[in-house]
Structure 1
Amino acid sequence: MVNTDTFVPDAVEEIETEIGDENAVIALSGGVDSSVAAALAYEAIGDQLTPVYVDTGLMRKGETAQIRETFSYMDSLRVVDAKDRFLEALSGVTDPEEKRSVIGEQFIREFEREARDADADFLVQGTIYPDRIESEGGIKSHHNVGGLPDVVDFDGIVEPVRDLYKDEVREVAHELDLDELVAERMPFPGPGLAIRVIGEVTAEKLEVARESCHVVEEELEEYEPWQALAAVVGKATGVKGDNRVHGWIVSVRSVESRDGMTARAQEIDWETLQRIQSRITGENENVSRVVYDVTHKPPATIEYE
């Protein structure tokens, strides 16, 4: 486990040394990884740091409003509306690795644009150890590791939590006195809802995934899952009222884990599962079927793509 008493000052010193008198932007998503990286960088270089939150349109319900509230103490926070640009870049893309590559490149281009405005030469990221392991091991690329383009217009990329597992990052978050909502927030993938949509990413499928994930997180809160989610996995015939519908299939997944490297599907009681399917099909007129994923990791990964 990480020794937070020594890790925090060491990380702050490392950031100060790497960035020096230059300016930097931090890729802020609102998750615990990027929040810890932002807090460390802010302590290290203060006003030299510009936090940038990119609203990709691939985020959780209410994410942007929550980001504005949580990080309002950072006067230099920038919120970038890039929803149309991301959706256009993903048009026609169906391969999971290509999705991650497209998203990684689009992220970098957004940050390069903001860095030019902030006269920043460095990018700070919340990459953690499992991200590196999965990307370098060929399991799947992460938008902030294997998904990065070959040419990046920064003098350096600083990753202060790159050697930590998720539970260790949470320990550091508590050491930094970050809000409990941030410190214990459920993991959310960097590529967002794009990898909870099988096949091409469309505005319709994203909205179904967003609303379904919101239902799942609400209904499974008492189970305290390491991660719980819903994914749009295809279409199937159903009946609503007296009408036949060819609607979306939503797969619900909830797992227990320590660090995300392995995971076990949770046992959820029947009443809860029925309440979830009732809400998802009732609140989304174009969803015809809800299923529950009982697969552990391995052989499955936690996310769908």
Structure 2
Amino acid sequence: MENLDRVVILDFGSQYTQLIARRVREAGVYSEIHPCSIPAAELKALEPKAIILSGGPASVLDADSPTLDPEILSWGVPVLGICYGMQLLSHMLGGCISKATDREYGRADLELTGTTILFEGLRDADRHKVWMSHGDHVDAVPDGFSVVGCTASVPIAAMACPERKMWALQFHPEVAHTDDGTVILNNFLFKIAKVRPGWTMASFVESTVADLREKIGDARVICGLSGGIDSTVVALLLHKAIGKQLTCIFVDNGLLRAGEREEVIGYLEEHFDLNLVAVDAQERFLSRLVGEQDPEKKRKTIGYTFIEVFDEEAGKIENVKYLAQGTLYPDVIESVSFKGGPSVVIKSHHNVGGLPEKMNLSLVEPLRELFKDEVRKVAAELGLPDYIIWRHPFPGPGLAIRVIGEITPERLEILRQADRIVQQELHATDWYRKVWQGFAVLLPLKTVGVMGDDRTYEHVIALRIVDSLDAMTADWTRLPPEILARMSSRIINEVKGVNRVVFDISSKPPSTIEWE
């Protein structure tokens, strides 16, 4: 990315931070997220063409609130503060901040009260809907700033100081709920910061392949290949860079979907000349999960066992120095505080948990800075067919986190058969491509039912079908009732041991996409 204009987003802990980066990239501009604590010298070395300060859950009035090196504001690099970023700018530059009695969350009508290049080209010249999510607000702007927007409850909802190249918004332009948020961000990028667009998936492939080739040299790499789009793209990028120095390892952990092993291995052997090793480790994984019901312990057990299997396979190959993984932005942000930033940890994920020292391998994560939709664009660039590109995401721990509670071969088989029906019906009705993800979950309870003249006491299946752009937020899909009815009828009639099907109508947040 050395030759691309770069926009840096400083993370103050907002769960929307990654959406800012996504919007910037959608505009064809390369962006990176860094913690707000990044030293000024380190940030300056990145030569950012623009800096965006994210929102965050803290109050700038608290003694331990996150801040940034004040030197950064003296460079003359265009700065856009969003929500907490606006409050911090005001606080650091002499404005006045006060705490609200109640947090404002939701839509608001923005009234434009001043002229600024930031709001050029909006559909409504006077008012438009914006998305608020804040507690504190600015009572008085710093010297040199002017108020350019307000709402009914927030007198200062936008401020600008073109002389110092600083603009700030109390609302979130990066979320879809804000009308013309993309126009506002693009005005900042192209009219104010005059950033040159150059971020494309073709350029990503070219630069990534070159970087991998230089980094790896003549060493060998092993890649965990699940058959999902992430690991497949990682494998193809590495194959393009180093050819036969790559060995792909497919691990059957006993937690796969119905027919998945045969489908994955068959496709890759038929279409790509990869070094591929299939390992049957079902007994090892399932024996270690016996009696385990805690979701985090399940994930960690599977992660440790996964790495153990790789350690053994690596020992069979000479000169292996790297392990490749398909880690994505959402994995990183939801698993750890992003690059040291203050974002809240939601769950652990074995893809980003690091490797045990005994493995003695370095990690290669060529997709670590990409969102899922960008990975699909890379896949198309590499020539993968649509049915692979649009395959629904599947979690690293597999069906272990969709079998809620104890994992047994019998419960896994019930879930496999129910999930197979969900996939079949989504494909048959052309809804598979319309939704982000659709799957079945086996609940840890039984209910009373009647089949024929007999009373039954059997398992419950939950259907989880969601719409999303990048898995950071999601909404439940309004699937036509007739499709839900057919799924339910087929599962109850065809899957032995199930007498009830329910439909999950919760969104993310506050829920997650997976149940565990």
Residue 198 (structure 1) aligned to one of 376, 391, 404:
404
Give SS of 2:395's match: coil
Q: 2 CA distance for matches of 1:126 and 1:74?
A: 20
Per-residue CA deviations over 1:94-136 (Å, capped at 9, x if unaligned) read: 1101110000001101111111112222101111110111111
Identity of matched residues, %: 46
* Structure whose CA Rg is larger: 2
Partner of 2:322: 122
Partner of 2:483: 272
Partner of 2:30: none
Q: 1 CA distance for matches of 2:401 and 2:363?
A: 25
Q: 2 CA distance for matches of 1:195 and 1:22?
A: 35
Q: 2 CA distance for matches of 1:102 and 1:218?
A: 31
Give SS of 2:241's match: helix
Q: 1 CA distance for matches of 2:389 and 2:240?
A: 17
TM-score normalized by the length of structure 1: 0.96
Partner of 2:394: 188
Q: 2 CA distance for matches of 1:115 and 1:153?
A: 9
| Preserved contact between residue 104 and residue 149 of structure 1 (Cα < 8 Å) | no
Q: 2 CA distance for matches of 1:138 and 1:166?
A: 20
Per-residue CA deviations over 1:160-190 (Å, capped at 9, x if unaligned) read: 0000000000000000101222111111111
Number of corresponding residues: 304
- Give the root-mean-square deviation of aligned CA atoms: 1.3
CA shift for structure 1 position 149: 5.6
Partner of 1:229: 439
CA shift for structure 1 position 47: 0.7
| Preserved contact between residue 248 and residue 274 of structure 2 (Cα < 8 Å) | no
Q: What amino acid is the match of 1:142?
A: H
After superposition, the Cα gap between the structure-2 partners of 1:285 and 1:216, relative to the gap in structure 1 and judged at 3 Å, is same
Q: 1 CA distance for matches of 2:246 and 2:382?
A: 17
After superposition, the Cα gap between the structure-2 partners of 1:295 and 1:157, relative to the gap in structure 1 and judged at 3 Å, is same
The runs of 5 or more residues in structure 1 that have no matched partner are none
Per-residue CA deviations over 1:12-40 (Å, capped at 9, x if unaligned) read: 12222222211111110001100100000
Q: What amino acid is the match of 1:82?
A: A
Partner of 1:238: 449
Residue 145 (structure 1) aligned to one of 346, 349, 352:
352
Give SS of 1:71's match: helix
Partner of 1:284: 495
Q: 1 CA distance for matches of 2:414 and 2:230?
A: 26
Structure 2 counterparts to residues 148-159 of structure 1, below 5 A = 148=354, 150-159=356-365
Per-residue CA deviations over 1:29-86 (Å, capped at 9, x if unaligned) read: 0011001000001111111100101011111111111111221033521111111111
Q: 2 CA distance for matches of 1:64 and 1:28?
A: 11
Give SS of 1:280's match: helix
| Preserved contact between residue 460 and residue 499 of structure 2 (Cα < 8 Å) | yes
Question: Relative contact order: is structure 1 or structure 2 higher (C-alpha 8 Å, sep ≥ 6)?
Answer: 1
Partner of 2:507: 296
CA shift for structure 1 position 233: 1.0
Is 1:89 the counterpart of 2:284? The answer is no
| Preserved contact between residue 101 and residue 149 of structure 1 (Cα < 8 Å) | no
Partner of 2:230: 33
Q: 2 CA distance for matches of 1:112 and 1:285?
A: 39
Partner of 1:253: 464
Q: 1 CA distance for matches of 2:485 and 2:282?
A: 33
Give SS of 2:407's match: coil
Q: 2 CA distance for matches of 1:268 and 1:180?
A: 23
Is 1:22 the counterpart of 2:22? The answer is no
Q: 2 CA distance for matches of 1:18 and 1:153?
A: 19
CA shift for structure 1 position 283: 1.2
Q: 1 CA distance for matches of 2:357 and 2:495?
A: 41
Partner of 1:132: 332
Partner of 2:380: 174
Is 1:219 the counterpart of 2:458? The answer is no
Is 1:78 the counterpart of 2:277? The answer is yes
Q: What amino acid is the match of 1:76?
A: N
Give SS of 2:335's match: helix
After superposition, the Cα gap between the structure-2 partners of 1:270 and 1:100, relative to the gap in structure 1 and judged at 3 Å, is same
Q: 1 CA distance for matches of 2:503 and 2:358?
A: 40
User: Which structure has more strand as a fraction of its residues?
Assistant: 2
TM-score normalized by the length of structure 2: 0.57
Partner of 1:262: 473
| Preserved contact between residue 222 and residue 247 of structure 2 (Cα < 8 Å) | yes
Q: What amino acid is the match of 1:260?
A: A
Partner of 2:118: none
| Preserved contact between residue 212 and residue 238 of structure 2 (Cα < 8 Å) | yes
Give SS of 2:227's match: coil
| Preserved contact between residue 208 and residue 284 of structure 1 (Cα < 8 Å) | yes
Q: 2 CA distance for matches of 1:70 and 1:44?
A: 21
Q: What amino acid is the match of 1:262?
A: T
